[in-house]
Amino acid sequence: MSARILDGKKIASDIRQEVVGEIVAMAVRGIRPGLAVVLVGHNPASEIYVRGKVKACAEVRIYSEQHAPAETSTTADVCALINDLNRRDEIDGILVQLPLPTQIDAKRVLMAVDPAKDVDGFHPLNVGFLSTQRPGLVPCTPAGVMEILKRSQIPVAGQHAVIVGRSDIVGKPAAMLLLNANATVTVCHSKTRDLSRVCSQADILVAAIGRAGLITRDFVKPGATVIDVGMNKITGNSEFQRLFSGDSEREETFRKKGSVLVGDVHPEVAQVAGALTPVPGGVGPLTIAMLMYNTVKAAKMRRGSGQGLVASGQQIGG
C-alpha cells in the first residue's frame, strides 16, 4: 500500500486564488490590505521565510513592507516599532518573525501587537478567542493543517487526533482547532512515555516536533492520515542514509546542494499511512497562503465589512 499524497501546493494555490478574488473586490472599494513584516537581526532561516512571505504579498496584491531592526535591538526598541505600526491605518497585519534574539522578551513583543492586526494569531487575546470558539485570527500553520484536512475530505469529527509537539505556534493551536472540530485530541511532547504506542492509536497524526524522521512506520496505524509539519535540514551523510538510502532523486539533490529537507516523518511511513503530506510541498505552502488569508481577514474585520472570508460558498480559516 502507498499513501495518498496530499498536495499542499495545489491547496495553497486554490486558497491564494480565493484570496485574490477578495482583494480584487476590496480594490473596487479603494481598499488595499497591508502587511508589515518585522525581522529582527539576521537569522538565515528567518530571512528565507520572510522573503517568501513578502513575495507572496506581491503576488496576491497585498501591500507589504519589511522592517529590519538590528540584531542588538532591545525589547523597548521593537515594541516602539510595533506601536508605530499599530497606529498606521494602512497596515492591517503585523507579523514579527520568530525566533527573536535572546535579549528580547518575545512574549512582551507579541503582546504589543494590536490583536486586530495580529495575523499570526499569537496575541493572548486571539489565543483565548480560539480556545473559547470566538471569531479571531488563527495561527497560520495550524489553520493550514485544517484546510488540508477539509479540502482533502478527511473527516475530523469523532476521529482520534494525536499531535506530537506542544509549541505555541503549532502544537497547541492545532490541538484547539482539532478539538473545536470535534476530534478526540491527544497532545504528546518530549516527556511523553511510549510515544510510538500513543501515536499508533491516531486516526490523524500531526507531527510538529522538529526532529528529522522521528515518526517511523511503527508509530503509524495502517491507513491513518499523517500531517508532517516538520522542516529539518539534513547535512550529515549518516543521517541522510538513515532517512533516504535508495532514493536516487534525493541522493542527487544531497550531492549537489550538500543538504536536503526532511520533515518529522520518516519516508517509510508512506508505505503504511492512508494519506500523507510531503516535505517540501505539504504544510509549508499553506502557512503562507493562510498568512495572506489572515491579512485580508484582518483588513475586512478592521475596516468594518464583516468577518471571515466566504470563498466557494464555504467559510475558510478559523
Q: Which residues bind ligand GUN (CB under 6 A)?
A: 95-98, 120, 140-141, 169, 287
Query: Which among 78, 159, 172 is positioned nearest to 128, based on CA atoms?
Result: 172
CA distance 170 to 160: 18
The least distance separating ligand GUN from the CB of residue 167, rounded to whole angstroms, comes to 9
By C-beta, is 200 or 287 nearer to ligand GUN? 287
Q: Residue 96 Cβ, how far from ligand GUN at the closest point, in Å?
A: 6
Taking the complex as a whole, the smallest distance from the CB of residue 122 to ligand GUN amounts, in Å, to: 7
For the annotated catalytic residues, the residue numbers are 53, 97, 120
Query: Closest CB to ligand GUN among 116 and 202?
Result: 116
Q: Rounded to whole angstroms, how far apart are CA atoms 149 and 156? A: 8
Pairing between β-strand 93-96 and β-strand 63-67 as defined by DSSP bridges: unpaired
Give the phi and the psi of residue 60 in degrees, each rounded to 5.
-100, 5
Cβ neighbours of residue 253 closer than 8 Å, sequence gap 6 or more:
260
CB of 47 to ligand GUN, least distance (A): 12
* Contact (Cβ atoms closer than 8 angstroms) between residue 162 and residue 200: no
**Cβ-proximal residues to 146 (8 Å cutoff; 6+ apart), any chain:** 156, 177, 178, 181, 318
Query: With respect to ligand GUN, which residue has the nearer C-beta, 165 or 267?
Result: 165
Give, in degrees to the nearest 5, the angle at Cα 121 between 211 and 23. Answer: 115
Give min distance, CB of 97 to ligand GUN, in A. 5
Strand, helix or coil at 211? Answer: coil
Q: Which is nearer to ligand GUN, 100 or 224 (CB)?
A: 100
For ligand GUN, the closer of residues 96 and 276 by Cβ is 96
Is 139 or 267 the residue whose CB approaches ligand GUN more closely? 139
Position of minimal CB gap to ligand GUN: 98
DSSP code string of 104-146: S-HHHHHHHS-GGG-TT--SHHHHHHHHTT-S----HHHHHHH
CB of 89 to ligand GUN, least distance (A): 22
CA dist 145 and 229 (Å) reads 8
